[in-house]
Structure 1
């Protein structure tokens, strides 16, 4: 499997080609500077998760469309039972210290993607609003995590779950001394065209 940074670079180039967008147009649509986009495409920069989200939102695609190779065979939910191991698919797709395991990348039959996220001790990230109607479901698997929802920080511990509208600014942080692991299921309405 190719390194995730290389795949992100190729994904961004392909998405721009599909849309016929210049770097200037891509910068306008995503809110990411032209210089940063060029560095990502050349594999010279490892973007933050927040930057990847800006790119995904601008292109109206899922986050996993940027970090996970597309399906090469027929893995339709109606025709097979996919098995995935977080240990195998876990990687660090961005420069900030969060690990992502795309357990089930976006599927256009189901309109969601499901990821395991590992927040290392001291991790903090703010995320701008995603596309209209995007909803996140978070379940804490181990440790504790704080989520910034509706302009307030809320603490969640092992076994806690929350669902919130991700089309508003939100954030995640781990102020503990140990890593925290959560499962994050992100639902995309059909109109966001989250497919690859």
Structure 2
């Protein structure tokens, strides 16, 4: 597998070319500056997770589309979380793409690790996107409808992710959770 930054650069360039977009057009659709998009495509810059989400949303794509190549056709292949876990951006968040986006199933699933003190605000995803969070270890808070909701290990929550939301770890230990993101069928 390519290094995450190398794959991101190739995936962004390929998606942009497939759509026939210039860097200016991609910037308008994603809300990410032309300069930053160019730096990412050249492998000169590592974006934040928030920027990765803006890019994915602007392209009408799943986040995992920019993190790793599509899964092989072997549905029964065992995926080792420890081998998948990496830091795809400059943030203090580790990501393991457990199940990359599959259009037939309409979802992608991650293991996410928030380091102590980490906070991330997320802009709304595309209309109809729903997130499912299951906290495995540690404690964290989710920003939903303007309120921070505390979660402890074993808690599970589902929420509409097509509005502003956020994640934070106010504790002293990493918070590890599964995040299943469901996308509505294309119209």
Is the TM-score greater than 0.5? yes
Aligned to 1:103: 98
User: Using the alignment, how far apart are the partners of 1:114 and 1:155 within structure 2?
Assistant: 22
- Report the alpha carbon displacement of residue 82 of structure 1 after superposing the two structures with TM: 2.7
Q: Which segments of structure 1 move beyond 4 Å, counting only runs of 4 or more?
A: none
Aligned to 1:159: 154
> C-alpha deviations, 1:96-138, integer Å up to 9, x for none?
0100000111111110001000001111100000000000000
Aligned to 2:79: 84
TM, length-normalised to structure 2: 0.98
Aligned to 2:109: 114
Aligned to 2:9: 9
Listed as ranges, the gaps of 5+ residues in structure 2 are none
User: Using the alignment, how far apart are the partners of 2:78 and 2:49 within structure 1?
Assistant: 26
Alignment length (residue pairs): 187
- Report the alpha carbon displacement of residue 62 of structure 1 after superposing the two structures with TM: 0.4
User: Using the alignment, how far apart are the partners of 1:52 and 1:169 within structure 2?
Assistant: 16
- Report the alpha carbon displacement of residue 81 of structure 1 after superposing the two structures with TM: 1.5
Equivalent residues in 2 for 1:1-196, closer than 5 Å: 1-71=1-71, 73-75=72-74, 80-191=75-186
User: Using the alignment, how far apart are the partners of 2:79 and 2:114 within structure 1?
Assistant: 21
User: Using the alignment, how far apart are the partners of 1:26 and 1:135 within structure 2?
Assistant: 25
TM, length-normalised to structure 1: 0.93
- Report the alpha carbon displacement of residue 85 of structure 1 after superposing the two structures with TM: 1.1
Listed as ranges, the gaps of 5+ residues in structure 1 are none
RMSD over aligned Cα atoms: 1.0
- Report the alpha carbon displacement of residue 40 of structure 1 after superposing the two structures with TM: 0.6
SS in 1 for 2:186: helix
User: Using the alignment, how far apart are the partners of 1:3 and 1:25 within structure 2?
Assistant: 27
